[in-house]
Each structure stands twice: as C-alpha cells, then as structure tokens.
Amino acid sequence: MNAYNIAMPLIDPGQKAPAFNLNDQHSQPHRLSDYAGRPVVLYFYPKDDTPGCTKESCAFEENLPKFKRGKAAILGVSILDEASKARFADKYKLTFPLLADPEHDVAEKYGVWQKKTNYGRSYMGIARTTYLIGPDGKVAKRWDNVKVDGHAEAVLAAVGEL
C-alpha cells in the first residue's frame, strides 16, 4: 500500500499501461513488454478458486482459441501466491498465465487495490477490473466492477474492434 493508504487512480483509456513483472503459476516471469505489438487482456480478480473468479477465469479459458485468433494474450492477476495459482489452474485446467501479485504492487499501479466493504467490515482488496491494452501499450478499454456473466465475450468483441 502506498505511504498515504490511498487507492491509486484507475488508468484511463488512452493512457500508457503501467509496466509490470510478475511470475505465473509455473514461476515464469511475465512483463508487459513481452507482449508488445499485440493486444493484452489484463484482468484483475479478487481470489483464486472462489465462485465468481472461477467462473470468470473459466470463461476466458473457454474463449481462449478466439482470443488467440485475435493475437490477444490473456493474463489474470490476483494477490495470492504462485502455489495458489498453480492449484487453481490445475483444478480448472486454465492454460493461460495467472500472475501472482502478493505485494499488490501491480494492483496498486492499475488502481484496482481499493477499499471494499463486506458485511459491514472494511478492508483493502482487488476490485474486479479488466484492462484491454492495445498493441501500442496504451489502455484501449477498461471494465470496472465487472459482472462475470458475458464478460469474456464483451472483452473478445472489444479485441475484435482493435
């Protein structure tokens, strides 16, 4: 968390996407620069192997061949560690990179590390948000407070518009 305990602003379409370097479920590093020249779907989800996050991730996996036809990479990000990501990916046969952001540095850079309230309790966590980063490294579109149903298909349609 930044020194002032304030959520960073979201990155708006047209802005350069912040660089990152995170390991996936196989301990392989991924940098945004590795994907230069192609679209990147960077989706932030609260927690591995929970109902909404599972449904969202499985929908991206189901549509993966269509995303690949559009040359788009899909990268999921949450704060749980690589071991948690590996269990999640194995359990649901997720083949795209799930990136571990245990210090929530990247979530903060993208403005998705936010104050949340559940049953009257406030805490900091990831707000379900998806960024579509264009081949030029700029944010092409952002979805806030994502509703899981139909989301992967909406993102796929946006990739097709790039």
> Residues, the chain, total?
162
Q: Among this protein's residues, is 53 annotated catalytic?
A: yes
52 contacts 148 by C-beta, under 8 angstroms: yes
- The residue type of 41 is V
Phi-psi sector, 152: left (phi>0), alpha (psi -120 to 50), beta: alpha
C-alpha to C-alpha distance for 21 and 15, rounded to whole angstroms = 19
Three-class SS of residue 24?
coil
Tokens of 150: 């139909």
Query: Residue 159 in contact with residue 130, Cβ under 8 Å?
Result: no
Give the pair of three-digit tokens for residue 36: 């230069």
Selected catalytic residue, list 41, 53, 106, 132: 53
Where in the sequence numbering do the catalytic residues fall? 53
